[in-house]
Structure 1
């Protein structure tokens, strides 16, 4: 009889992955530094000295994974935010991020001067582009979607970066309400339901962005350049193991002129710098992969486009300040190079951001 009961028992339902970064268990004097280190997975932040010294500094991230997309609620205090070319080269994220501010405000500058997000509106970030913003104390909700999921759905001639979507538009209201509802039911959804809702969420986001286009975009030229940059970045990523990868090699195989390549990658420090940083990032992730802890370092070097251990080790040490052979046995150093370690603070959202498209 007991056997039948056991056979009839249903397996526990898998819930939507949820990571909650909280500073509540961190010593007051260490809170700001830990927050700055953690959020560096996507932004450099800078708070004034009074904020850094306060014993009451707060920062909280509540993130959910819905299959290949991420929805996160963040609340913290007044800060400056920057996504620079060096960060983009380091993390390689190629995502759109749509934000709504539930409380607080954000400001930034563009060619027209200082701008402020209208209350109740949405703003779109292209994480493959640089940005500087400033916020006061706020709580916002961020929907993060890999660019590949939006390919073919968006009108490609328009640059989406820092587009402001006014709250009065019907499609904007639909997307805003959907984001809020999705977060509110996330703790009751199954993994299967989350995976099934992801395409609908992406479709709604694309429809909202397309419907909001009602006049010629003044940044159309920038949008075309961004599309070219995106294509070349994907080409480079697919060929990182090719030792001959260089400006000339890319120009021959990707149909882009040297002049164009230099212009597209100027903000990244040049094509060579971008290739080196992406190769070393790939090697870093391979070295800390627990499932490949016995993989020879020489194999990792080859897969990252290096033809010798010596050249790879020199480049890796110059970039990260540690030898490749030491990275596996020195967990404390992982924090220094931007990868979280396992401790009392849940920092999984950092890895999730970098692996949405995997």
Structure 2
């Protein structure tokens, strides 16, 4: 059995280093458990699992994670069930410094080459197939990006190609952030996290050539006002295009234009209601709340319509989601008693490494 490197944890900043060499199935499962908050990971067959090699070093900078890693060929699946049991609301950016990967993101397929930056919304489904690779990954809480990106919902599956100006600047920042992370004190970590979120918002939220950044900035205030109004009134069954036009004093044509790239205003409202319902269902503090009551609190008057829409978006029924979120499938399962493999999951939920 290959040896498992003891995790090295330093404060500040929080740092975690783990690696496995060619090993048996038990050690592979231990590594996979550490990945569980992000993806369900697997290799091609039993032989590939036995010869699997992987390692990572990750820094936690005020809940922004920067991860340098390498791995043998693998499949990473962020399925509806994985999303349910991890209950995280983050955006990730990954650049493979060696090797590329095939991406499936909610029915769209893409090839991501070496040096491309791929953006994924961790509340949405994706599947990655990678040969042996090395990578650098940045994981940010959605709440850090929301004040700066008017169309955050359009980032899922976005690819910034290698060689483009935005890719070059953002990839350089990710490398610099990782290199400087060991020297940051607590206040510097917070400053770096805020600055990184602003930079990601400016780059990943812009078009691939940056030409529409000015137009986005001009429209951002109006769109953000609409989004805030929607978030505050998801419970109100009157919420819809006419309600927004009346409350905000905008024409229906302008409202439709603002939400065109987000799939339309009606679709956007329904998606936000379904996401709110998802968050309430997996919240342990609301574990005794009836599913029907949650649906009503999210603006749904018809239980059957709510269940159909919920399954279509999340890949499972509300009841199945609740069962998955409280079952023994939790990402906190300890396969060997080594709590180091739970660290990334704890970080993503805002728990400091010292508490792990």
Do both proteins adopt the same fold according to a TM-score greater than 0.5, normalized to the shorter chain?
A: yes
1:179 aligns to what? 174
Query: Using the alignment, how far apart are the partners of 1:81 and 1:270 within structure 2?
Result: 23
Secondary structure of the equivalent of 2:154?
Answer: coil
- Please tell me whether residue 22 in structure 1 is matched to residue 30 in structure 2: no
Query: Using the alignment, how far apart are the partners of 1:218 and 1:39 within structure 2?
Result: 32
- Please tell me whether residue 227 in structure 1 is matched to residue 288 in structure 2: no
Cα distance change on mapping 1:245 and 1:341 into 2, 3 Å: farther
Query: Using the alignment, how far apart are the partners of 1:117 and 1:348 within structure 2?
Result: 28
Cα distance change on mapping 1:90 and 1:28 into 2, 3 Å: closer
Query: Using the alignment, how far apart are the partners of 2:284 and 2:28 within structure 1?
Result: 39
What are the within-5 Å matches in structure 2 for residues 49-198 of structure 1?
Answer: 49=45, 50-54=47-51, 57-109=52-104, 114-156=109-151, 158-198=153-193
**Is the CA contact (8 Å cut-off) linking 2:53 and 2:71 kept in structure 1?**
yes
Query: Using the alignment, how far apart are the partners of 1:17 and 1:157 within structure 2?
Result: 28
**Is the CA contact (8 Å cut-off) linking 1:20 and 1:346 kept in structure 2?**
no
1:320 aligns to what? 328
2:207 aligns to what? 212
Secondary structure of the equivalent of 2:286?
Answer: coil
Query: Using the alignment, how far apart are the partners of 1:155 and 1:119 within structure 2?
Result: 29
Runs of 5+ unmatched residues, structure 2: 1-9, 213-258
CA shift, 1:203, in A, is 0.6
CA offset digits 1:292-328 (Å, max 9, x no partner): xxxxxxxxxxxxxxxxxxxxxxxxxxx329xxxxxxx
1:354 to 330, 349, 356: 349
Query: Using the alignment, how far apart are the partners of 1:102 and 1:223 within structure 2?
Result: 35
Query: Using the alignment, how far apart are the partners of 1:252 and 1:226 within structure 2?
Result: 15
Larger radius of gyration: 1
| TM-score computed with the length of structure 1 as normaliser | 0.70
Cα distance change on mapping 1:114 and 1:252 into 2, 3 Å: closer
- Please tell me whether residue 35 in structure 1 is matched to residue 31 in structure 2: yes
Cα distance change on mapping 1:138 and 1:251 into 2, 3 Å: same
- Please tell me whether residue 202 in structure 1 is matched to residue 202 in structure 2: no
Secondary structure of the equivalent of 2:49?
Answer: helix
Query: Using the alignment, how far apart are the partners of 1:64 and 1:143 within structure 2?
Result: 10
**Is the CA contact (8 Å cut-off) linking 2:87 and 2:282 kept in structure 1?**
no
CA shift, 1:79, in A, is 1.0
CA offset digits 1:173-216 (Å, max 9, x no partner): 22211111010111222222111211110011111122226689
2:318 aligns to what? 271
Cα distance change on mapping 1:187 and 1:110 into 2, 3 Å: closer
**Is the CA contact (8 Å cut-off) linking 2:97 and 2:134 kept in structure 1?**
yes
CA shift, 1:253, in A, is 2.2
Query: Using the alignment, how far apart are the partners of 2:338 and 2:283 within structure 1?
Result: 34
CA shift, 1:342, in A, is 4.8
**Is the CA contact (8 Å cut-off) linking 2:101 and 2:131 kept in structure 1?**
yes
| TM-score computed with the length of structure 2 as normaliser | 0.70
1:245 aligns to what? 290
**Is the CA contact (8 Å cut-off) linking 1:157 and 1:224 kept in structure 2?**
no
CA shift, 1:167, in A, is 2.9
CA offset digits 1:151-192 (Å, max 9, x no partner): 232123742211111234333322211111010111222222
Runs of 5+ unmatched residues, structure 1: 1-12, 281-318, 322-333
CA shift, 1:113, in A, is 6.7
Query: Using the alignment, how far apart are the partners of 2:108 and 2:316 within structure 1?
Result: 27
